[in-house]
Amino acid sequence: MKISIIGAGMVGASIAYATMMKGIADEIALIDVNINLAEGHALDLSHGNPYVKPVRILGGDYFLSKNSDIVIITAGRSQKPGESRLQLIESNAELMKNIVKKTLSYSKSPLLLIVSNPVDVLTWVAWKVSGLPSHRVIGSGTTLDTARLRQNIAQHCHLDPRSVHAYVIGEHGDSEIVSWSTANVGGIPLETLCSACTASCEGSGVFERIFEDTKNAAYKIIEKKDATYFGIGLAVVRILEAIIGDSHSVLTISTVHNEFEGIKEVPFSVPSVLGRNGVERILPLKLSEKERAGLIKSALTIRKAIDTISK
């Protein structure tokens, strides 16, 4: 299994490192306009081969991505402190077009995994430019947001985050929502668990505070260290595991929906089954009326952003 990562910044390097640690690839190619950076990361990573399942690691220009099974795109202008992901559209959309075209000149029909922000809009761009079926063009979506949510719930409730089942859906951005009505721990609805909990939570609005901490996590990290990369690196490798292992895992990735509530060709995240060929099916969520309205609003936010560049 050959994986190419376009963009050898901290996000791309973190994905390469986590992929190597998991031992799920036979070959990893790091591609970047900064050839020295890509070559340096490849050399540095290769020195860890004696301690993991050995993998061939290359670094350099696009020709090294030839015959890739999966291409991960992380390249793009980074989010600045106080800047929303949607503000990155103009600069990163054109870059995405060029990257996809170059990628497909070396790999006939790879599965595309988009990580660059705004990820939902750029997933649409990659899908349009590539001509690939929508189930083979995947955005990392709200996989990281969902992980942050589960960690925040687990920390509040003193639980193992792997035992928390809750989803952030919609845009990977400010309009995202939480499907609280489906959130559970061990099959017990979260609201039921809270009513039986002996912990004395301070006042009301616990769910709202957890959601705000989840939604604003990236802003806090960017303010403190300029970028987020470890969390998204692990989230992307979880997606890779589901695809390469054909495990039919349920993850909140972003993919283009042909139609949703009258909105055409809009990418957003909902629980989706992933396997070797990409997205196998979308799982239906039992949302409350408020949550459904929030998801529609989020989808419209993405569609409006796409409309600004679609021509």
Question: What digits encode the pLDDT tens for the residues 17-57?
Answer: 999 999 999 999 999 999 999 999 999 999 999 999 999 99
Q: Is 172 among the residues known to form the active site?
A: yes
CATH code of the domain in which 268 resides? 3.90.110.10
Domain boundary among 113, 139, 165: 139
Domain that holds residue 85: 2-139
The angle that helices 143-157 and 206-215 make with each other, rounded to 10 degrees, is: 140
Question: What digits encode the pLDDT tens for the residues 223-241?
Answer: 999 889 999 999 999 999 9
- Report in angstroms the alpha-carbon separations of 222 from 90, 120, 173, 212, 217: 21, 20, 14, 16, 9
> Which range (62-66, 190-194, 245-249) has the least confidence?
190-194
φ, ψ of residue 11 to 5 degrees: the values are -65, -50
307 labeled binding residue: no
Is residue 89 a contact partner of residue 305, using CB atoms and an 8 Å limit? Answer: yes
Number of domains in the chain: 2
> Which band of pLDDT confidence, cut at 50, 70 and 90, is reported for residue 193?
confident
CATH code of the domain in which 71 resides? 3.40.50.720
**Neighbour order of strands in the sheet with 164-165:** 164-165, 184-185, 188-189
**Residues 97, 213: one domain?**
no
- Kindly state the greatest CA–CA separation across the chain: 60
- Chain centroid offset of residue 34 CA: 24
8 labeled binding residue: yes
12 labeled binding residue: yes
pTM for this prediction = 0.93
**Residues 176, 287: one domain?**
yes
Set 156, 172, 248, 257: catalytic member? 172
150 labeled binding residue: yes
11 labeled binding residue: yes
Rg of the Cα atoms in the chain: 19
Per the document, the length of the chain is: 311
Is residue 74 a contact partner of residue 5, using CB atoms and an 8 Å limit? Answer: yes
79 labeled binding residue: yes
292 labeled binding residue: no
Helix (H, G, I), strand (E, B) or coil at 2: strand
H-only helix segments in the chain:
10-22, 35-46, 89-104, 119-130, 143-157, 190-195, 206-215, 217-225, 230-244, 289-307
Q: Which two tokens stand for residue 117?
A: 């922000």
